[in-house]
Amino acid sequence: MATGLPLPPWPGGNTIALTDLEEESRRPERLDRLPPRLLPVLYFAFGHICLGLAFLAMALTPETLAGFFYHSRILAVVHLVTLGWISASILGALYIIAPMAFRMQIPARKLDYAAFAMFVMGVTGMVSHFWLDSYNGMVWSALAVIAGLAIFAARIVPPLVASKLPPAVKLHIGLAFFNILLAGIVGALLGIEKLMINVLPGQQITNVYAHAHLAALGWATMMVIGAGYRLFPMFLPAAMPAGPRLYVSAVLLEAGALGLFATLMLQSRWVILFVVLTIAGLLAFAAQVVWMKRHPRSAPKAMQRPDFGMLHNMQALAYLGLSVVLGLALAIAPPLEWKLRAAAAYGVLGLVGFLSQMVVGMSARLWPMFSWTHSFVGSGFAVPPPTPHVMPDRRLQAVTFLLWVACVPLLAAGLYFPDVTLVRASAWGLFIAVIAETLNSARVLRFAFGYRKKKQLTTQDGG
Ligand code: HEM
């Protein structure tokens, strides 16, 4: 029996019939197809606090952060963004994407909460010890982060392998977890080096570049591409790319990221080969996005235009292109003073403009779907919630988007020149963007926690 309710689009671009969902929910054992309700929200809440703190630190102390990019205060801010926002959001989103886009289940068990606690404690410890320039505490905290990531990987890899997901997509996600564990271990060893205990070959600064590229390309970018092959078609909406061509980005990007990692550590001239392989891997993904754009699917009537989530994603991909061009220039140009300043701008384009903004774009579409599902199931299918497309506040979305448009280039320019006023102004702008986006997420999430008419079902959180 179709009820004609406005339902969110599911993988394959088709709207799942209510009867299927209703049918599923009447069979209690299918409830674990629903995403856990609390744990993803906890990861994202931690992520928002970290991103807000990163921009607040830049706005309040731009003098200490502008100029040469390699010092402990910048390291603290960099890991608030990379571990706090980007990585925490990836981990939280996986609990939602797995049942909704990967057709696999990762119910939140005690071990998942333990992994969350280890990760949050570790990241908080790392950031505060970086800020205090105390590497002893940083290393111990790093071990907690690595333990949290390892538990998460152990929880997700078995269902990933068993899932019906295309093997090429599985490969991206599996490689991403391998790379973050390796990058994390090298990160901890970099900290031990700072305690004057020699554990790594090569020079500290090039080892830091090696760690940073393996983490940013091998973990975050690899995950964006793997999940992107499922989420972009759902959100555009478009046809789902499939087949062996999806392996190309995984193989090239992995060869590029691992090769960059090794050649940067060994300061080898072969680094340029792996820069080229990395770019080829990114272009392979870009080609699939173009293919999706050329194979559109009909959008739900309720979909609002402009779609701010997709605008963030497209802007993020443009920043990926810009950071590739600047990264290439930094790799081939002779050692000159401008490179030291350009390295900070390169970090902003890649870590803020691309990766951090991609999280903003994807969550703008994920949370309404998540809230819609929990609200409808939670009410025992008694109270159909409003369609996910009208849950967010469009004005808050517009403010968030315009602040990202204006402030990311200003922040990159502020760190390049360096110009303290530009850094301060753009950091305040991005801080306000985080507040606006947080308010909007809370507005959307109230549907997931507010609407429970009939206590028919137990939820996934054991709550
Ligand atoms: C468990 C995880 C991690 C640990 C233990 C770790 C540890 C470190 C350490 C110790 C340094 C600097 C060492 C020094 O002072 O020489 C560093 C630098 C850096 N890390 Fe990480 N890191 C981790 C995860 C990540 C992730 C996920 C990313 C990116 C996605 C990242 C990006 C960077 C960047 C860009 C730098 C250089 C920053 C600068 O020079 O300003 N790290 N990391």
Range with the poorest average pLDDT among 175-179, 199-203, 275-279, 337-341? 337-341
Mutate to test the pocket of ligand 1, among 64, 78, 80 (most ligand atoms within 8 A of CB): 78
Q: How far apart are CA 206 and CA 204, in angstroms?
A: 6
CA of 122 to the centre of ligand 1 (A): 13
Decide which of 19 and 44 is more confident: 44
Average pLDDT over residues 5-18: 42
The predicted model gives 176-182 an average pLDDT of 98
The pLDDT score that the predictor gives to residue 450 is 73
Rounded distance from Cα 57 to ligand 1 centre (Å): 18
Distance CA 68, CA 309 (A): 34
Distance CA 28, CA 16 (A): 19
The CA 187 to ligand 1 mean position distance, Å, reads 6
pLDDT value at residue 32: 60
| Per-residue pLDDT tens digits for 406-420 | 999 999 999 999 999
Q: What average pLDDT does range 170-174 have in this prediction?
A: 98
Look at 145-154, 205-214, 245-254, 374-383 and tell me which has the smallest mean pLDDT. Answer: 374-383
Closest CA to 78 of 112, 45, 55: 55
Mean pLDDT of 24-44: 75
**Alpha-carbon 290 to chain mean position:** 21
* Minimum-distance ligand 1 atom for the alpha carbon of 145: 1
Query: Which residue type occupies 435?
Result: I
Is the model's pLDDT at 451 over the cut of 60?
Answer: no
How sure is the predictor about 211, in pLDDT bands with cuts at 50, 70 and 90? Answer: very high
**Structure tokens given for 66:** 């502008």
| pLDDT at residue 238 in the model | 96
pLDDT, tens digit, 9 for 90 and up, residues 285-306: 999 999 999 999 999 889 999 9
Name the residue with the closest Cα to ligand 1, atom 2: 184
Q: What number is the average pLDDT over the span 350-374?
A: 97
pLDDT of residue 31: 61
Q: Which of 254, 259, 261, 127 is nearest to 206 (CA)?
A: 261
Overall size of the chain counted in residues: 463
* Model pTM above 0.85: yes
Our answer on whether the CB atom of 145 is closer than 6 Å to any ligand 1 atom is yes
238 phi, psi to nearest 5 deg: -150, 175
Rounded to the nearest whole angstrom, what is the distance from the C-alpha of residue 217 to the centroid of ligand 1? 13
Name the H helices within 27-105.
38-60, 62-65, 72-79, 88-101
pLDDT band at 436 (very low <50, low <70, confident <90, very high): very high
Query: In the prediction, which pLDDT does 219 show?
Result: 98
Per-residue confidence band for 17, with pLDDT thresholds at 50, 70 and 90 = very low
Check residue 18 and give its pLDDT. Answer: 43
Question: What does the mean pLDDT of the chain come to?
Answer: 90
What's residue 14's pLDDT?
41
Over the stretch 220-259, which tens digit does the pLDDT of each residue have? Answer: 999 999 999 999 999 999 999 999 999 999 999 999 999 9
Mean pLDDT of 194-222: 95
